Chains A and B, each alone.
Chain A
Amino acid sequence: MSADDRLKVVARHLGVGKNVFHTSIAMQLCSSENKTSDTAQGGVVLPQIGPSSDARKPRRSKPVKSVIPKNRQELLKWNGWGYKDSKFVVENGIVSFTGNRYAIGNLSLPYFTEWVLEKFDVDLNSGKIADPVPKQDNFPSPIVDAGFLDELHCLQISFSLDGVDRLIRSHGHTLHDIFILREGTFERIPDIVAWPESHDAVVNLVQLAEKHDIVIIPFGGGTSVSKAVSCPREETRTILSLDTSQMNRILWLDQENLVACCEAGIVGQDLERELGQQGFTSGHEPDSYEFSSLGGWVATRASGMKKNVYGNIEDLLVHVRMVTPSGVLEKSCQVPRMSCGPDFNHVILGSEGTLGVITEVIIKVRPLPQCKKYGSIAFPNFESGLLSMREVAKQRCQPASIRLMDNEQFKFGQSLRPVPGYFGLLLDGLKKIYITKIKGFDVNQMCVTTLVFEGDPKDVEHQEKKIYDIAAQYGGIPAGEANGERGYMLTFVIAYIRDLAMEYNIVGESFETSVSWDRTLSLCNNVKHRLKKECEAAGIRHFMISCRVTQTYDVGSCVYFYFGFKWNGVGNPVTTYEHLEELARDEILASGGSLSHHHGVGKLRMRWFPSQVSKLGVELYRATKRQLDPKNIFANGNISKQNL
């Protein structure tokens, strides 16, 4: 039966014409949003075993009003990063940032404009305009079986066959994804989007999918940069995008043990806001935390900016439930740690949606810190900044966050400042004189470390002193709170730049790795060297390659690269970019780096997976997959080829 035939069946079944059908279904089913959560469909149904059934636990299931609506496209760009109202625009040849969500909002940015012109030599008056939202008729018809829809209907799980709903859940935020949204079409998008509202609903949905052999691709915040949520183009079965966003309650908060049980669909900013209202924080703050979800963090082994104080997701995670076609995988207790065979939480962590859907997570919470302070240190060069960082790690006195930006990024960061008033200008001038003339720093070599301190004011003070003392040994001088704060603000804003860049044929992306201390510097140098040579060989004249060291560990660091170039009109910019990133990854691996520190494998990096985990490792993973998902309905194709 062809897709169209099937669709007709569906339409007949629902008793409406083809065109009316899309909108009416979507409207009708999306309206379920207002239903209260303690109905049978979305209520807290406690399982027989497991921590939630423990009577001692306070039961305060809290519905969370998410910032992000069920119709994501109402608030978020359909073909770019973040909020619709926040973006870089060019007005009268000057770049500015719209909206007032971020500190640089509604400010014109002449220095940044200058930087762009110098770096990429673009004509700011002739931007490319992206394609409009595709018309309903232009979406591929959904492949859906009527019988399945019937049963889905019975389960009272809200779903949609609407083209836009399906499209915006068919991709993450790789350059490739965004480029296709702007100038092309995806070969395969999900056939149906479903919004289960509880763990039990997910259990039912997965069983139903298993019965009908329907592919499920879990979808959280949609911020993946590994092509993890993309639909495998050769998949002929119905693909259902399981959107977890309506499963976003904080089921309970245990102040005694400092843990919170949350549904997996809650996004970072909602979680922080809700916990904050009660005086707590999870402390997990990946750069995407405005949009990314708790389940997504677990599934990719995410890392937060402030992991030095709070830990990475694997440190925060106390208990997790994952619904698989073979059942629910979870531990029966909620304890700080246990010696009880291999830790199966680690089968779930980093499973990237290939084994099941993560539905509920118990995470550690901490009381909100009394004091939060930014800081920054200027270093004469990258090497001295790195040595200082290494020393901080050696003494284990890291503040909540410590990051070292290279010179390229330092200059870029400086360019994102607004025009200062007269006094500011004077101050700027004085600062520059102090740094370059008195301290003898070379503006084209100096680097900046940005810092976040959190905790007791006293502890913070102590920490600050220690850090600045270490820095001083390596020639670092404190460069003020404002620079630090701008550094972290940049983290959130930098993601918006790509959308502007693409209008001017500049393509770029970030990628990351982790590496031992003794190889950190050579890895940074090698990757930059390689990309520079490869760009030159490809006839690319305008490019930027920059790195920052974003995390410190006892044994090594996490390095983040930003790489972008102005397309020179030869071939396809995205293909060229992807090829160059592949070469960069080869260089990273040969330089002793890992495949990924926190972005995950997805489909983008799977060809290197065996070389990282050994042949036996791949077999072990596949055996796990066979056990949990024998029919391969979680067939998003991440991590490793699923030829079971």
Chain B
Amino acid sequence: MDLVIKNSVHQYPGVKQQMNMEFETTRSIQAFKDILCDRYGTSDFMWMSQNWQPRLAHQHTFKTSPQKMKLDVLKCPRLQHVIEEASEDQEVPKEQLYKTVQSILDEIGYNRRLPVIRWLGLLLLKVLKRTCNGLYVNETSINRVLSVMGDNPVIFAPSHRSYGDFILMSYICFHYKIEIPAIAAGMDFHSMWLMGHVLRDSCAFFMRRSFGSDKLYWTAFSEYVQKLVTDGEAAIEFFIEGTRSRTAKSLMPKFGFLSMTLVPFLTGRVPDITIVPINISYDRTLEEILFAYELLGVPKPKESTSGLIKALNMLNERYGKVYVDFAEPLSVRELFQLNGLQRSLPTPESPQDQHTLSANETMFCVDVAHRVVQQQQRHSVITAFNLISIILNNSVLEGSGPPLLNEVVANVSWLKSVMEVLGALIDIQDGPVNVEVAVKEAIAVHKSLVTLTPTNHLKLIKVHTTAHRVNPAKLKGHSMSEHTMGVAVPMVMIQHYLNPCLHYLIGPALVTLVMWHLDDAVEITRGDLFQNFNFLRLLFAYEFAFYAAWAEKEFDDAVKQLEMLSVVEPTKSDRLKLGNHRKLQILLLNLLQPFLEGYLTVCQLLQQTASDPCSESLLLTSTQRRVEELLGSGIILHPYALSLDMHSAALQALTALQAVNRLKRNGMVLYQAQTRKLLEVTQKLENLKFQSEEKFHPSSTGFRHFVIDGSQQAKL
């Protein structure tokens, strides 16, 4: 059928333009209110047991319940159909499959017990008051969310950096009297003794990580999610990144769950869906050490309640401030129109069939997912420690020795002004005194990672101890030496804290990198520059969650910003050349260093070993081994190049670039180098990397100056 429906997004009298996807310039740190501040000096118990009448995300006249929803799903024609099919195929009686589905739904389904929520909230409140310097919520932005709630399904899409995220989200909802959202949680929590129940009663529903082939499970789950969207009165909360980002950078968004939630809109069952991207920024991440080990290949301990109790030791730590900001709610309907799409008219369809997304609809989901991630990034709050980490990292790579406190303060001030030009919101008051206060506070909060020596030098603490040793058989990657681990753990942690700044810096850094390596031609046309930029953007697509469709826009923005910062200058012939802001240029290049090193090593290794198909785990292990060797010989400077996440991101990108071939054999994932293309990529990378060595002369022993042994520190 051909549709002659024209795009109806045209102006008519009296209509004000509603969409404003551009960056909001009105964000200010003043809008953030510490919602814990009124909890001091009053009874937490009274607060958590208040008469609570929440605002609903989507009001219905017909009230459903968690139990009824499961029952409705069980009765739905699609599930019935799949049961019948499976019963015939597998020759299993229908009744049995019916029971299976029932237990699947019991495994998935959320519950809502207000008393449990209240008690959990009380516990959380006590913990927060003990460990945090404040839970800062942007009230202007949450009021904006409240103003659009009520008429259609709402999705909360927070960034995911810590287990703390969804507990905090629920507490914030309680605080602002918003119905506790139904939260998509991973199965790992489900198996935790007691906690599984507690979370379920606090509105969590559970999702298996992989269920590609299990049609019964898939149908039950997607029907359940659609039921939540169409019939639920609470918002649905899910993490678009799929998992906690161990690196504190945004992960490439996942599209599966999102597209499930959008189906009711695409099929005309609901008028619109509101998506609220949310950023949660932590001064200090609860899992900082665990994440560092995981990135290096030491597996995360299985979520267990005893592990949780052990984690209670963390109650004696300080975690600084937490910031939560709600981006402008996205109307799926408006986005759909903005993309020039029209919902396809529902053609006669079997109620037994699942709606399969058309190519356009799939593209749309990808677009929405990236927008959500982009909005999460743009609503982050940068703290003093993020900037200190950049400075410290830079000092290490420059080999200039541990910086003095006053140098750090001066550099933080400078970097703050740079980051503000790039659009970051930074929680440091202006003025040198304020910066110094903020820096000192940050060092105090992160006293387990950095310390000031009596000579006022800022040094790293060797976090790694023998206590962290694990059975080499359990390692995901290569078993590294104690020495390497001693250097790597704190450096990876520092990287964890500078990473949140990277989405502001990455575009400018890539442009700068290309410009820095211009051979003889000092000037470059925008077109050539974009070609090179785009190559790097494709190569780092999975590292920085780049969306291909936005390459040009981001390039233009980056060049504009760099011009403002005097890093590049336009010439008379409308070409570009490097500007005179040498300090920032070097800082940007240093930020890219570990990624260039890591990616290059992956390429070289593939070149050498993967002419025949090679398993992923073998590749990861040998890459890590090679990086360790190169670190030892001083060819690689930054231990972050050891990160397994980086290596797998590199493999994904190389697959997308067709420099390697991804095969599946007997359920094993294998990679095979596509020699010619891989060589091309490797050469480009080598050209970008090697020259940088000439610029700096770090000593391989440089780290030693930076890292203090924990025990030593204790004596200090």
Contact B5 A586, beta carbon cutoff 8 Å: yes
Quick one: which of A338-385 are within 8 Å of B by CB? 381-384
Of the candidates B13, B16, B268, B271, the one whose C-beta lies within 8 Å of that of A592 is B268
- Known contacts A383-B61, A532-B151, A576-B13; A608 and B270 CB within 8 A of each other: no
Quick one: which of A580-614 are within 8 Å of B by CB? 582-583, 586-587, 589-592, 607-608, 610-611, 614
Contact B15 A537, beta carbon cutoff 8 Å: yes
Residues on B with beta carbons closer than 8 Å to the beta carbon of A608: 4-5
Is A519 interfacial (CB-CB < 8 Å)?
yes
- Known contacts A590-B345, A608-B4; A539 and B14 CB within 8 A of each other: yes
Is B129 interfacial (CB-CB < 8 Å)?
no
Is A615 interfacial (CB-CB < 8 Å)?
yes
Residues on B with beta carbons closer than 8 Å to the beta carbon of A530: 271-272, 333
Of the candidates B3, B61, B271, B345, the one whose C-beta lies within 8 Å of that of A445 is B61
Quick one: which of B476-512 are within 8 Å of A by CB? none
Is A65 interfacial (CB-CB < 8 Å)?
no
Per DSSP, chain B at the interface is loop
Of the candidates B2, B13, B62, B268, the one whose C-beta lies within 8 Å of that of A572 is B13
Residues on B with beta carbons closer than 8 Å to the beta carbon of A382: 61
Of the candidates B230, B271, B351, the one whose C-beta lies within 8 Å of that of A529 is B271
Q: Can you name the residue of chain A whose Cβ is closest to the Cβ of B17?
A: A537
Contact B271 A607, beta carbon cutoff 8 Å: no
- Known contacts A529-B151, A590-B268; A538 and B5 CB within 8 A of each other: no
Contact A582 B8, beta carbon cutoff 8 Å: yes
Contact A611 B345, beta carbon cutoff 8 Å: yes
CA distance A571 to B351 in the complex (A): 44
CA distance A615 to B12 in the complex (A): 31
Is A570 interfacial (CB-CB < 8 Å)?
yes
Contact B269 A522, beta carbon cutoff 8 Å: yes
Residues on B with beta carbons closer than 8 Å to the beta carbon of A583: 8
- Known contacts A383-B62, A529-B151; A590 and B343 CB within 8 A of each other: yes
Residues on A with beta carbons closer than 8 Å to the beta carbon of B3: 610-611
Residues on B with beta carbons closer than 8 Å to the beta carbon of A532: 151
Residues on A with beta carbons closer than 8 Å to the beta carbon of B345: 589-590, 592, 611
Residues on A with beta carbons closer than 8 Å to the beta carbon of B219: none
Q: Can you name the residue of chain B whose Cβ is closest to the Cβ of A523?
A: B268
Q: Can you name the residue of chain A whose Cβ is closest to the Cβ of B152?
A: A529
Interface string of A601-631 (1 = CB under 8 A from B): 0000001101100110000000000000000
Q: Can you name the residue of chain A whose Cβ is closest to the Cβ of B12?
A: A579
CA distance A532 to B230 in the complex (A): 19
Q: Can you name the residue of chain B whose Cβ is closest to the Cβ of A612?
A: B345
Interface string of B1-24 (1 = CB under 8 A from A): 111111010001111101000000
Shortest distance between the CB of B678 and any CB in chain A (Å): 47
Residues on A with beta carbons closer than 8 Å to the beta carbon of B41: none
Residues on A with beta carbons closer than 8 Å to the beta carbon of B8: 582-583, 586
Contact B151 A522, beta carbon cutoff 8 Å: no
Residues on B with beta carbons closer than 8 Å to the beta carbon of A383: 61-62
CA distance A586 to B341 in the complex (A): 12
Residues on B with beta carbons closer than 8 Å to the beta carbon of A582: 8
Of the candidates B2, B13, B16, B270, the one whose C-beta lies within 8 Å of that of A571 is B13
Interface string of A538-575 (1 = CB under 8 A from B): 11100000000000000000000000000010111001
- Known contacts A571-B12, A587-B271, A591-B268; A611 and B2 CB within 8 A of each other: yes
Shortest distance between the CB of A140 and any CB in chain B (Å): 28
Residues on B with beta carbons closer than 8 Å to the beta carbon of A436: none
Residues on B with beta carbons closer than 8 Å to the beta carbon of A576: 12-14
Per DSSP, chain A at the interface is helix
Contact B14 A525, beta carbon cutoff 8 Å: no
Residues on A with beta carbons closer than 8 Å to the beta carbon of B14: 538-540, 568, 570-571, 576
Residues on A with beta carbons closer than 8 Å to the beta carbon of B16: 537, 539
Q: Can you name the residue of chain A whose Cβ is closest to the Cβ of B266?
A: A590
Shortest distance between the CB of A143 and any CB in chain B (Å): 32
Is B342 interfacial (CB-CB < 8 Å)?
yes
Residues on A with beta carbons closer than 8 Å to the beta carbon of B346: 519, 590-592
Residues on A with beta carbons closer than 8 Å to the beta carbon of B269: 519, 522, 591
Q: Can you name the residue of chain B whose Cβ is closest to the Cβ of A567?
A: B14
Shortest distance between the CB of A535 and any CB in chain B (Å): 10
Interface string of B252-273 (1 = CB under 8 A from A): 0000000000000000111110
Contact A526 B271, beta carbon cutoff 8 Å: yes
Of the candidates A384, A525, A589, the one whose C-beta lies within 8 Å of that of B271 is A525
Is A211 interfacial (CB-CB < 8 Å)?
no
Contact A519 B15, beta carbon cutoff 8 Å: no
Residues on B with beta carbons closer than 8 Å to the beta carbon of A615: 1-2
Contact A607 B1, beta carbon cutoff 8 Å: no
Contact B15 A539, beta carbon cutoff 8 Å: yes
Q: Can you name the residue of chain A whose Cβ is closest to the Cβ of B1?
A: A614
Is A396 interfacial (CB-CB < 8 Å)?
no
Of the candidates B13, B152, B268, B272, the one whose C-beta lies within 8 Å of that of A575 is B13
Quick one: which of B261-290 are within 8 Å of A by CB? 268-272
Contact A610 B4, beta carbon cutoff 8 Å: yes
Residues on B with beta carbons closer than 8 Å to the beta carbon of A611: 1-5, 345
Shortest distance between the CB of B57 and any CB in chain A (Å): 14
CA distance A583 to B342 in the complex (A): 11
Interface string of B47-80 (1 = CB under 8 A from A): 0000000000000011000000000000000000
Is A533 interfacial (CB-CB < 8 Å)?
yes
Q: Can you name the residue of chain A whose Cβ is closest to the Cβ of B349?
A: A592
CA distance A571 to B10 in the complex (A): 14
Interface centre among A518, A539, A589 (most CB of B within 10 A): A589
Q: Can you name the residue of chain B whose Cβ is closest to the Cβ of A592?
A: B346
Contact B268 A538, beta carbon cutoff 8 Å: no
CA distance A590 to B4 in the complex (A): 14
Contact A537 B1, beta carbon cutoff 8 Å: no
CA distance A587 to B268 in the complex (A): 8
Q: Can you name the residue of chain A whose Cβ is closest to the Cβ of B344?
A: A590
Contact A519 B268, beta carbon cutoff 8 Å: yes
Of the candidates A522, A527, A568, the one whose C-beta lies within 8 Å of that of B270 is A522
Residues on B with beta carbons closer than 8 Å to the beta carbon of A571: 12-14
Quick one: which of A506-533 are within 8 Å of B by CB? 518-519, 522-523, 525-527, 529-530, 532-533
Shortest distance between the CB of B20 and any CB in chain A (Å): 13
Shortest distance between the CB of B68 and any CB in chain A (Å): 14
Contact A537 B18, beta carbon cutoff 8 Å: yes
Residues on B with beta carbons closer than 8 Å to the beta carbon of A610: 1-4
Shortest distance between the CB of B226 and any CB in chain A (Å): 12
CA distance A237 to B603 in the complex (A): 76
CA distance A568 to B16 in the complex (A): 13
Contact A538 B12, beta carbon cutoff 8 Å: yes
Q: Can you name the residue of chain B whose Cβ is closest to the Cβ of A442?
A: B61
Residues on B with beta carbons closer than 8 Å to the beta carbon of A522: 230, 268-270
Shortest distance between the CB of B400 and any CB in chain A (Å): 57
Q: Can you name the residue of chain B whose Cβ is closest to the Cβ of A381?
A: B61
Residues on B with beta carbons closer than 8 Å to the beta carbon of A587: 271
CA distance A516 to B73 in the complex (A): 20
Q: Can you name the residue of chain A whose Cβ is closest to the Cβ of B336?
A: A590
Quick one: which of B122-153 are within 8 Å of A by CB? 151-152
CA distance A365 to B17 in the complex (A): 56
Interface centre among B268, B271, B345, B346 (most CB of A within 10 A): B271
Residues on A with beta carbons closer than 8 Å to the beta carbon of B272: 529-530, 533
CA distance A533 to B272 in the complex (A): 10
| 21 A-B pairs (CB sep. < 8 Å) | A381-B62, A383-B61, A522-B269, A525-B270, A525-B271, A530-B333, A533-B272, A537-B18, A538-B12, A568-B14, A575-B13, A576-B12, A576-B13, A587-B271, A590-B343, A590-B346, A591-B271, A592-B345, A607-B5, A610-B1, A615-B1
Q: Footprint of A on B, CB under 8 Å?
A: 1-6, 8, 12-16, 18, 61-62, 151-152, 230, 268-272, 333, 342-343, 345-346, 351
Q: A539-B15, A591-B268 are in contact. List 10 more A-B contacts (CB 8 A).
A: A522-B230, A530-B272, A532-B151, A533-B151, A537-B18, A539-B14, A572-B13, A611-B3, A611-B5, A615-B2
In the A-B complex, list the 9 residue pairs whose CB atoms are closest, starting with the nearest: A571-B13, A570-B14, A529-B271, A526-B271, A590-B343, A591-B268, A592-B346, A381-B61, A590-B268
